[in-house]
Amino acid sequence: MTAQSSHLIDGFEDGTFRPGDKITREQAMVIIAKAMAITGLEAKITNHNDADVLRSYTDATESAPWAMSGIADSIQAGIVSGRDEAILAPKAYITRAEVAKLVQQLLRKSDLL
C-alpha cells in the first residue's frame, strides 16, 4: 500500500497487484524510474529519446511500450545496465542480487549513500 500511495507501483490492468509473483527486469526498471522522482535524481538526467538510449541493446524491442520510458530513464541515470553490453533482458525475472544493486545504485546516484 505504501508503494502504491507513493506512486511507485500501479498494479495490473485488471486492478490486481499479485504480490507473490516474481517481477521482470522491465517492471523493476519502471519502479526504479518512479523512485528517481522521489529522490530527486529524475531532475538531474537530461532529456533523451528513449529509442536512442535503448539502441545498443539488441533485445530492447522486446520491452513493453509502457515500460520504455522508465527503462531508458534508469539506464541514462546509470542505475541499470544490461545483463551484458548488448542484452537488456527486459522480460527476464529480476534476481534479488540485481534488485539490491539497483537500490544501491539509486541511492548512490541520488547522493543518499
In-domain check, residue 19: no
In-domain check, residue 14: no
Number of folded domains in the chain?
1
Q: pLDDT above 70 covers what percent of the chain?
A: 100
**What's the domain range around 73?**
24-109
The three grid cell numbers given for residue 48, joined into one nine-digit string:
533523451
pLDDT score at 40: 92
Write the CA distances from 25 to 4, 40, 46, 63, 70, integer angstroms.
19, 22, 23, 10, 11
Please check the confidence at residue 7 and state whether its pLDDT lies above 80: no
In-domain check, residue 7: no
Helix (H, G, I), strand (E, B) or coil at 93: strand
In-domain check, residue 92: yes
In-domain check, residue 43: yes
In-domain check, residue 17: no
Q: pLDDT above 90 covers what percent of the chain?
A: 66
Q: How many CB atoms lie within 10 A of CB 38?
A: 13
Q: What is the pLDDT of residues 35-73, one digit of tens each?
A: 999 999 988 888 778 889 999 999 999 999 999 999 999
d(CA 22, CA 80): 19
